[in-house]
Amino acid sequence: MLELDNPCLDCRNKCCVVGLIGLMLSKEEYEAYFKKYEQSFLVIPEDKLVFLTARDGIICPYFEDRGCKIYDQRPFDCRLYPYQMRLAYETKEKIKFILHSRSDCPRKTNLLLPEAEAKALIMDFGRKVYGNKKIIVQNCDNLLARLTNKIEILLVKLFKVLGIVK
């Protein structure tokens, strides 16, 4: 992954070493790259996704001195970093993701993708995982967006309980 002018070089890929605190993977990504290392992770399968957390802050098995061994095939969640994506909610018709840049990356000012590209990456991930379901991506970097998102999630939960939304 790393070339001499790569801004991650002197950081030594801290996001892969200590930052593997949560990867959201498609089942395909999990099966292809992480299933064989499942003993090292806390694995939470959820419908079409797999959430991965490193046990005891271990290093990602694909991290090596000069970077990611599977850089060209790395998971969507890794491609998005220093943005991070989260699942907000899923209904029968649609699925909503949020993205935010509240990660610890010290170089994120330089490394963040343009927001439109980050959203397109999540849309691509969503289409691969959920097919034709309507996909919404919202930037939740600011407080107002976070609050409205939280209210929306609560309303969706309530409407599901009441049977108004499935």
Residues of 79-89 as b/e, b for ≥16 C-beta within 10 angstroms?
bbbbbbbebbb
Question: Among 113, 91, 76, 87, which Cα is nearest to 161's?
Answer: 91
**CA separation for the pair 69, 28 (Å, rounded):** 18
Q: Which stretch binds ligand SF4 (CB under 6 A): 5-13, 126-134, 139-147, 155-163?
A: 5-13
Contact residue for ligand SF4 among 49, 68, 80, 98 (CB under 6 A): 68
Which residues contact residue 85 at a Cβ distance below 8 angstroms, ignoring those fewer than 6 apart? 24, 76, 77, 97, 98, 99, 122, 125
In the bound complex, what is the minimum distance in angstroms from residue 103's beta carbon to ligand SF4? 7
Q: Which stretch binds ligand SF4 (CB under 6 A): 45-53, 60-68, 90-98, 147-155?
A: 60-68
CB 156 within 8 Å of CB 91: yes
When computed from its CA atoms, the radius of gyration of the chain, rounded to whole angstroms, is 17
**CA separation for the pair 145, 131 (Å, rounded):** 26
Q: Which is nearer to ligand SF4, 74 or 119 (CB)?
A: 74
The 78-97 site mask, x for binding ligand SF4 (CB under 6 A), equals x--xx---------------
Q: Which stretch binds ligand SF4 (CB under 6 A): 43-51, 67-75, 130-138, 139-147?
A: 67-75
| Site size toward ligand SF4, by CB under 6 A | 21
The reply to whether 49 sits near ligand SF4 by the rule CB under 6 A is: no
Contact residue for ligand SF4 among 111, 112, 136, 145 (CB under 6 A): 111
Q: Is 117 helix (H, G, I), strand (E, B) or coil?
A: helix
Q: Which residues bind ligand SF4 (CB under 6 A)?
A: 7-8, 11, 13-16, 20, 60, 62-63, 68, 70, 74, 78, 81-82, 105-107, 111
